[in-house]
Amino acid sequence: MAEVVTFAKEGSVGVITVNNPPVNALSQAVRAGIKAGIAKGMAEADVSAMVIICDGRTFIAGADIREFGKPPMEPHLPDVCQFIEDCPKPVVAAIHGTALGGGLEIPLSCHFRIAVATAKVGLPEVKLGLLPGAGGTQRLPRVAGVQAALEMITSGTPVAAAKAKAMGILDEIVDGDLKAAALAFARKAVDEKLPLRRVSRLAAKLDTPTVFEDFAKANARKFRGFLAPYKCIESVKNAAELPFAEGMKKEREIFLELQASDQSKAQRHVFFAEREVVRIPGLPDDQPTRAITSVGVLGAGTMGGGIAMCFANAGIPVKLLDVKQDFLDKGLAIIQKNYANTVAKGSLKQEVMDKRMSLIQPTLAYEDLKDVDLVIEAVFEDMAIKKEVFTKLDAVCKPGAILASNTSYLNIDDIAAITRRPQDVMGMHFFSPANVMRLLENVRGARTSPDVYATAMKIGKTIGKVPVLVGVCDGFVGNRMLAKRTRECGFMLEEGALPWQIDKVIYNFGFPMGPYQMGDMAGLDIGWRNRKAKFSTLSDREKKNTILDKICEMGHFGQKTGSGFYKYDEKRNATPDPMIEELIINHSKDVGITRRTITDQEIVERAIYSMINEGAKILEEGIAARPLDIDVVWLYGYGFPVYLGGPMFYADTIGLGKVYDAILKYRDLVGAEYWTPSPLLEKLAKAGKGFYSK
């Protein structure tokens, strides 16, 4: 028996203990050890019952990710689970920490399950584009009922012990020593001759005859585009309709089908990319960082207020500075309202809200920032204003304080150059709303010290963000690529498309909304202001594409004015605007472009492939160190569909040869100024390789 699993006798009870740090993952050695432990307990006459328990901070928290993508090794988990269930002696699972995935499938195959009150159980496989493949979809509906099983399996969200007991997953919640309670429970099972509850022999309880159809319909919006949730529903349906052995056979078939799917490969890529992105190439994992115990935020507007909330949520005191008391009052009122809404929904306790509000201290004086460890400015996106702010910060902030800008596209090196401490200056680009969006685009300047950007990555994790380190260029990674999509969509409006066609195609591709819906929601005046700020850098064709200018000049800024690209009713429901259609058609005539039919396929290619080509240039220039950095930016900042894995992973999925050929096609159609293949993309495509298989 492998040493990660031990067997010991405590009187007449055999105790099988898993000790596979850090999370007792279900490696081949653990699976073999558990099976061997059960066999040993069955073989020894003086063992009347068994307990499966784990050392360390948690019960089995899932599969061993080091075995992902490798050929499965015996014993296979479904066989181990069946072996446990078939044991003629009582087997008790004793759970603490989290029992996730296979770590819940093991207890479900035991005859009894107990847990400490702080334990959580769940089946998160759907988040990897999979379903629980060792009986989870067959056993859970038999103990918890179909509705509860559907909710748990398709969401992948763990449930707390109290709820798990109410659902029938747990038999008992214990106070005090888990092992002692498990031994007592096992002895009680023997002494009282409790019938062994073999889950496979129970019936899956249907809540209503149409539960599966109703559930799929109710969650259609949430499951949009995803394959795995629907396959999970299918497998749970099999549990209700087929004998257990047949349901298990079907579960295995569906698991293998999902495992081989592009979606699961993409979702597994996302899982690993999110963990890898925080590691900075070229820096050791133990790179020293600076302590951040207090933060200053400049600007109490939407962004500044959201950023302040991020730090308050993590228990870090914030000095929130603005130039007028009115601005501070308004900003604090919005922060208070945001927290109050969360309290009203029951997701936050009032005392927690009060504590967080107390951590945000308003001020009108730069002098009050003299002792903070980190300052993030979130003022107007104007270089002259930014430089003025940083000059003041440089004068008052203590040596070693990190000075960060929340700019979304301005040059960090230019900002750093006006300070006496360029090594302490960097970009920390939060996404709106900052207290909700998970991406943090950390921008390393040419002279930024490694311990400064390492600190920004670390503090990003502390405040619950997914931080990505990028270099300096116009728009960094996300907005630089978005600019290419915006340009192509604008050109397609001139050439024959309409906003609602483009929006529908981008939505169907998997984004939460299309570019024109998004513009209307954010406020077209923001995009218009950015266009005017960058006007001198635009090409002649871009300068002449005045569709946005004309709409904004009419005072139509989107939802907030009741009209933009769309018309809006009092509930902000959008309908296509015939006036905008006429405006676009007349614009095409004015600039001498004959409109034509633009297919949905062309919209996808021009919108998405233009971004992929720009992503390749970003890699060539070293603005992003790895393709995964780009993917994570787009997944967490711009709503790129998770089941496609990010733009660079998606490019590999469809094949770089296909992308390259399309770029050449649009070079001939639109012009080489806009469509010239990146040398990196061309090289990889011609070699039959991808961004992840160089």
Q: DSSP per residue over 520-536, as a string?
A: HHH-HHHHHHHHHHTGG
Give the mean model confidence (pLDDT) for residues 417-431.
Answer: 96
Q: Could you give the count of Cα atoms lying within 13 Å of 657 in the half-sphere of its Cβ?
A: 4
Distance CA 694, CA 689 (A): 6
Most distant pair of Cα atoms in the chain: their distance:
93
Using only C-alpha atoms, what is the Rg of the chain? 29
Residues whose CB is less than 8 angstroms from the CB of residue 247 and which lie 6 or more positions away in sequence, other chains included: 137, 138, 235, 238, 239
Q: Which amino acid is at 283?
A: L
Q: Which residues partner with 14 through β-bridges? A: 9, 50
pLDDT higher than 70, residue 2 = no
Q: Is 494 helix (H, G, I), strand (E, B) or coil?
A: helix
Asked whether the beta carbons of 100 and 121 are under 8 A apart, the reply is yes
Q: Give the DSSP letter string of 406-473.
A: --SSS-HHHHHHTSS-GGGEEEEEE-SSTTT--EEEEE--TT--HHHHHHHHHHHHHTT-EEEEE--S
Distance CA 406, CA 380 (A): 10
Asked whether the beta carbons of 250 and 239 are under 8 A apart, the reply is no
* 8-state DSSP, 682: H
pLDDT higher than 60, residue 1 = no
Give the mean model confidence (pLDDT) for residues 369-377.
Answer: 97
Instruction: Tell whether 433 and 505 lie within a shared domain.
Output: no
- The pLDDT score that the predictor gives to residue 380 is 86
Instruction: Tell whether 255 and 306 lie within a shared domain.
Output: no
Instruction: Tell whether 105 and 192 lie within a shared domain.
Output: yes
Asked whether the beta carbons of 77 and 36 are under 8 A apart, the reply is no
Asked whether the beta carbons of 375 and 296 are under 8 A apart, the reply is yes
- Domain stop point among 423, 439, 455: 439
* Domain count along the chain: 3
What are 242-282's pLDDT values in tens digits? 999 999 999 999 999 999 999 999 999 999 999 999 999 99
Instruction: Tell whether 312 and 242 lie within a shared domain.
Output: no
The per-residue pLDDT of the chain, averaged, comes to 95
Three-class SS of 585-654: HHHHHHCCCCCCCCCHHHHHHHHHHHHHHHHHHHHHCCCCCCHHHHHHHHHHHCCCCHHHCCHHHHHHHH
pLDDT higher than 60, residue 525 = yes
Instruction: Tell whether 39 and 89 lie within a shared domain.
Output: yes
- Domain stop point among 439, 458, 475: 439
Give the mean model confidence (pLDDT) for residues 402-406.
Answer: 97
pLDDT higher than 80, residue 68 = no
Confidence bin at 71 (pLDDT 50/70/90): confident
Helix extents (H) in 62-174: 77-85, 102-109, 136-144, 146-155, 161-167
* 8-state DSSP, 76: P
Asked whether the beta carbons of 474 and 530 are under 8 A apart, the reply is no
Residue of 82, 61, 30, 31 whose CA lies nearest to 248: 82
Instruction: Tell whether 43 and 187 lie within a shared domain.
Output: yes
- Domain stop point among 590, 611, 631: 590
What are 299-354's pLDDT values in tens digits? 999 999 999 999 999 999 999 999 999 999 999 999 999 999 999 999 999 999 99
Distance CA 247, CA 639 (A): 36
Instruction: Tell whether 410 and 522 lie within a shared domain.
Output: no
Is residue 539 in some structural domain? yes
Asked whether the beta carbons of 444 and 417 are under 8 A apart, the reply is no
Residue 14 buriedness (CB in 10 A; 0-12 / 13-18 / 19+): buried
Distance CA 379, CA 386 (A): 7
Instruction: Tell whether 252 and 331 lie within a shared domain.
Output: no
Cis geometry, peptide bond prior to residue 499 (ω within 30 degrees of 0): no
Instruction: Tell whether 378 and 510 lie within a shared domain.
Output: no
Residue of 527, 516, 524 whose CA lies nearest to 566: 516
Q: Which structural domain range is residue 514 located in?
A: 497-590
Is residue 421 in some structural domain? yes
pLDDT higher than 80, residue 386 = yes
Distance CA 596, CA 589 (A): 12
Residues catalogued as catalytic: 105, 125
Give the mean model confidence (pLDDT) for residues 142-164.
Answer: 97
Asked whether the beta carbons of 593 and 491 are under 8 A apart, the reply is no
What are 466-478's pLDDT values in tens digits? 999 999 998 999 9
Distance CA 174, CA 178 (A): 7
Is residue 345 in some structural domain? yes
Residue of 275, 209, 229 whose CA lies nearest to 126: 229
Helices (H) and strands (E) counted in the chain, each on its own, are 31, 19
Instruction: Tell whether 300 and 205 lie within a shared domain.
Output: no
| CATH number of the domain encompassing residue 107 | 3.90.226.10
Residue 533 buriedness (CB in 10 A; 0-12 / 13-18 / 19+): middle
Distance CA 34, CA 2 (A): 9
Q: Which amino acid is at 589?
A: K
Distance CA 657, CA 641 (A): 22
Confidence bin at 694 (pLDDT 50/70/90): low
Q: Which residue has the tokens 């922060």?
A: 335
Instruction: Tell whether 153 and 196 lie within a shared domain.
Output: yes
Is residue 655 in some structural domain? no
Tell which phi-psi region holds residue 242, choosing left (phi > 0), alpha (psi between -120 and 50) or beta: beta
Tokens of 285: 């994992």
Distance CA 231, CA 225 (A): 12
| CATH number of the domain encompassing residue 567 | 1.10.1040.50
Instruction: Tell whether 314 and 381 lie within a shared domain.
Output: yes
